[in-house]
Structure 1
Amino acid sequence: MQFREDQIPIMEYEGGTMAVPAVPGAGKTFIVANLAAKIIEQKRNKLGKVLVVTYMNSAVSNFKSRITSVLNEKGISNSKDYEVMTIHSLAMKILKDRPDIVGINEEFHILDDLKKVMYLNEGIEEWRRRGGERIFKSFLSDRHVQKYNEKCDQWWRDFFNIADILISELKLNDISPEMLIKQVQNFEDSSIIKNVSYIYDIYTKKLKMQGCIDYNDLLILSYKALTIDTKLREKFQRKYSFIFEDECQDSNLVQCKMLSLLSEDNNNLVRVGDLNQSIMGTFTSSDPKFFAEFCSEADKKYVMNMAGRSSKEIIDVANYLVKYTRNNHAEEKCRTALEEQYIEVMSNIGEFRNPSIEDYGVYSYILSSWDKVKESTIKSIQNFRLKYPDKTIGILVPYNNQVSEISKELREIGIECDELSSTPEKRLKVTNKLGYILSFLGEPDNIFKLREVINNLIDKSGKGKEILLNNLTSYKVEEILEYKIIRDKLYSNKEFIDNDIINFFEKNMDSINHILNYQDLSMEKIILNIGNLLDFNIEDKAMIQAVASYVKYIQKDISDLSFEYISQILLDVKSSIFKHIADIIYEIKGYDPTPDRVAVATCHKSKGLEWDCVFFLCITNYNFPFSLNGKFRSEQYYFKDEFKNLTTLGKVEIQKILGKTVYSSPFIQAKAEVVSEKVRLLYVGITRAKEYLILMSHKDEIKKDYPSKYFEILRGFIEEQREKFKSNIV
Structure 2
Amino acid sequence: MFKPRPKQQQVLDYIGGKMGVSAVPGSGKTLTLSYLAAQLVASGRLEDDQEVLVVTLVNSAVDNFTGRVGGFIKERGLLPNLGYRVRTLHGLAHDIVRERPALVGLSDDFQIVDEREAGRILQEAAAAWLRANPHAADEFLSPDLDEGKQNWVRRDQWPDLVTNVARNFIRRAKDLEGTPDKIRRRLERLAQSLPLVEMGCAIYADYQRALHYRGAVDFDDLIRLALRALELDRELLERLQYQWPYILEDEAQDSSRLQQEILSLLAGPNDNWVRVGDPNQAIYETFTTADPKYLRAFLREEDVESRELPNSGRSTRSIIALANYLIDWTQSSHPVEAVRDALTPPYIEPTPPGDPQPNPSDDPSQVRVIAQKFTPQEELRAVADSLARWLPEHPDGTVAVLVPRNNRGFEMAGELKKRGLEYIELLRSTRETRETAGALANALNYLADPASSKKLATLYKVWRRKDRDDEEAHKRLAWVARRLSKIRQVEDFIWPRTDQDWLTGLEMDEELSVIHEQLVEFRALVRRWQEATLLPPGQLTLALAQDLFEEPADLAVAHKLAGLLRQMSTRHLDWRLPELVEELATVARNERRFLGLSADDRGFDPQRHKGKVVIATTHKAKGLEWDRVYLMSVNNYNFPSARPHDQFISEKWFVRDHLNLEAETLAQLEAVLTEGDLPVYEYEERDVTQEARQEYAAERLRLLYVGITRARKELIITWNTGRRGDQQPAAPFIALQTFWEEEGVGSRE
Superposed pair shares fold, TM > 0.5: yes
Q: For residue 155 of structure 1, report the CA deviation from its aligned partner.
A: 3.8
Q: 1:176 to 1:723 in 2, by over 3 A?
A: closer
Cα displacement string for residues 367-411 of structure 1 (whole angstroms, at most 9, x for unaligned residues): 431111111211211211111111101110011122222223323
SS in 2 for 1:85: strand
1:413 maps to which residue?
419
Greater Cα shift, 315-324 or 503-512: 503-512
2-structure distance, mates of 1:553, 1:97: 26
Structure 1 residues 423-467: Cα deviation after superposition (integer angstroms, max 9, x where no partner): 432343234324433444465455544443344451453423531
What corresponds to 1:626 in structure 2?
A: 641
Which amino acid counterpart does residue 601 of structure 1 have in structure 2?
A
Equivalent-residue separation in structure 1 for 2:127 and 2:60 (angstroms) = 36
Are the aligned partners of 1:400 and 1:422 in contact in 2 as well (CA < 8 Å)? yes
From 604, 623, 630, the counterpart of 1:591: 604
Aligned to 2:673: 657
Distance 2:639 2:455 in 1: 42
The one-letter amino acid of 1:164's match is R
Change (3 A) 1:437 1:584: closer
2:160 is paired with a residue of what secondary structure? helix
Inter-CA distance 627–174: structure 2 relative to 1 (3 Å threshold): closer
Q: Is the 8 A contact 1:102 1:224 kept in 2?
A: yes
Partner of 2:374: 368
CA-to-aligned-CA distance 1:185-232 (integer Å, 9 cap, x gap): 357666211111111111111222221111111111111111111111
Q: Determine whether 1:422 maps to 2:460.
A: no
Please say if 1:22 is aligned against 2:30. Answer: no
Distance 2:518 2:320 in 1: 49
Q: 1:676 to 1:359 in 2, by over 3 A?
A: closer
Who is 1:638 aligned against? 654
**In structure 2, do the counterparts of structure 1 residues 384 and 80 end up closer, same or farther at CA, with 3 Å as the change threshold?**
same
Q: Secondary structure at the match of 1:7?
A: helix
SS of residue matched to 1:596: coil
Aligned position for 1:93 = 95
Supply the distance in 2 between the matched residues of 1:330 and 1:222 (Cα, whole angstroms): 42
Q: Which residue of structure 2 aligns with residue 158 of structure 1?
A: 161
Match of 2:498 in 1: none
Q: State the SS of the aligned residue for 2:25.
A: coil
Provide the rounded CA distance (Å) in 1 between the counterparts of 2:324 and 2:168. 33
**Structure 2 Cα separation of the partners of residues 511 and 309 of structure 1:** 53
Q: Quick one: distance in 2 between partners of 1:427 and 1:669?
A: 39
1:117 aligns with: 119
Q: Against the structure 1 CA distance between its residues 322 and 213, is the aligned structure 2 distance closer, same or farther, given a 3 Å change threshold?
A: same
Alignment of 1:471-482 (within 5 A): 471-472=479-480, 473-474=482-483, 476-477=486-487
Change in Cα spacing, 1:264 to 1:522, as seen in structure 2 (3 Å) is: closer
CA 1:235–1:517: 2 relative to 1, 3 Å: same
Give the distance between the partners of 2:653 and 2:185, measured in 1 at CA.
32
The answer for the alignment partner of 2:630 in structure 1 is 615
Output the aligned Cα RMSD: 3.3
Structure 2 CA distance for partners of 1:554 and 1:189, relative to 1, 3 Å: farther
**Partner Cα distance (2:191, 2:244) in 1:** 46
Q: What amino acid maps onto 1:592 in structure 2?
A: D
Shift of 1:543: 3.1
Q: Is the 8 A contact 2:637 2:649 kept in 1?
A: yes
Find the aligned partners of 1:51 and 1:490 in 2 and give their Cα distance: 71
Asked if 1:489 corresponds to 2:508, the answer is yes
Q: Deviations over 1:471-529 (max 9, x none)?
A: 12145545876998699938837xx9xx9x99999876654443344556787875565
| Pairing of 1:312-711 with structure 2 (within 5 A) | 312-358=317-363, 360-365=365-370, 366-441=372-447, 444=450, 446-457=452-463, 458-459=465-466, 460-472=468-480, 473-474=482-483, 476-477=486-487, 489=508, 492=511, 511-518=525-532, 529-530=543-544, 534-535=548-549, 536-547=554-565, 549-550=567-568, 553=571, 556=574, 563=578, 571=585, 579=592, 588-593=601-606, 594-629=609-644, 630-641=646-657, 643-659=659-675, 665-700=687-722, 702-711=724-733
Alignment: residue pair count = 715
Alignment of 1:18-97 (within 5 A): 18-47=19-48, 48-97=50-99
Distance 2:185 2:122 in 1: 21
Whole-angstrom CA distance in 2 between matches of 1:485 and 1:419: 44
Q: Structure 1 CA distance, aligned partners of 2:531 and 2:675?
A: 63
Q: 1: distance between equivalents of 2:471 and 2:148?
A: 46
- The separation in 1 between residues aligned to 2:573 and 2:715, in whole angstroms, is 51
Partner of 2:315: 310
Equivalence for 1:216: 220
1:284 match: secondary structure: coil
- Relative to structure 2, which stretch is displaced further, 32-41 or 446-455? 446-455
> Residues 144 and 638 of structure 1 are in contact (CA less than 8 Å); yes or no, is this contact kept in structure 2?
no
Q: Residue 306 of structure 2 corresponds to which residue in structure 1?
A: 301
Q: 1:201 to 1:461 in 2, by over 3 A?
A: same
SS in 2 for 1:272: strand
- Cα deviation 1:234-291 (Å, max 9, x = unaligned): 1000001110000010000111001111111321100000000000112210011110
- CA–CA distance in structure 1, aligned partners of residues 3 and 693 of structure 2: 45
Q: CA deviation at 1:415?
A: 2.8
Indicate the SS of the match to 1:91.
helix
Cα distance change of structure 1 residues 225 and 508 upon mapping to structure 2, 3 Å threshold: farther
* Distance change in 2, residues 1:587/1:464 (3 Å): same
1:646 Cα deviation from its structure 2 partner = 2.7
Instruction: Give TM-score, length-normalised by structure 2.
Output: 0.88
Q: CA deviation at 1:110?
A: 1.4
Q: Partners in 2 of 1:450 and 1:148 — Cα distance?
A: 40
Relative to 1, partners in 2 of residues 1:587 and 1:162: Cα closer, same or farther, differing over 3 Å?
farther
Offset of residue 625 of structure 1: 0.6
On the 8 A contact 2:368/2:747 being kept in 1, the answer is no
Measure, in 2, the Cα distance between the counterparts of 1:225 and 1:382: 57
How far apart, in 2, do the equivalents of 1:57 and 1:354 lie? 29
| 3-state secondary structure, aligned to 1:84 | strand
Q: Any unmatched runs of 5+ in structure 2?
A: 495-500
Asked if 1:229 is matched to 2:248, the reply is no
Cα distance 1:85–1:529, how it changes in 2: closer, same or farther (>3 A)?
same
Select between 438-447 and 1-10 the one with higher mean Cα deviation: 438-447
Q: Residues 38 and 662 (structure 1 numbering): CA distance in 2 closer, same or farther, change over 3 Å? A: farther
Is the alpha carbon distance of 1:205 and 1:43 closer, same or farther for their aligned partners in structure 2, counting shifts above 3 Å?
same
- Greater shift after overlay, 346-355 or 700-709? 700-709
1:199 has 2:212 as partner: no
Greater CA drift, 642-651 or 484-493: 484-493
Alignment match, 1:105: 107
CA distance in 2, matches of 1:656, 1:299: 33
Quick check: 116-125 or 435-444, which moved more? 435-444
The question of 1:2 aligning with 2:3 is answered: yes
| Distance (Å, rounded) in 2 between the aligned partners of 1:227 and 1:633 | 39
Taking the aligned partners of 1:136 and 1:562, their CA distance within structure 2 comes to: 35
Shift of 1:354: 0.3
User: Secondary structure at 1:579's aligned position in 2?
Assistant: coil
**Please, which runs of 5 or more residues in structure 1 have no aligned partner?**
none
Counterparts of 2:537 and 2:7, CA distance in 1:
61
- Identity between Structure 1 and Structure 2 (%): 29
Match of 2:129 in 1: 127
1:276-295 matches, within 5 Å, as 276-295=280-299
In 1, Cα distance between the equivalents of 2:683 and 2:7? 39
Amino acid at match of 1:628: R
- Structure 2 CA distance for partners of 1:100 and 1:622, relative to 1, 3 Å: same
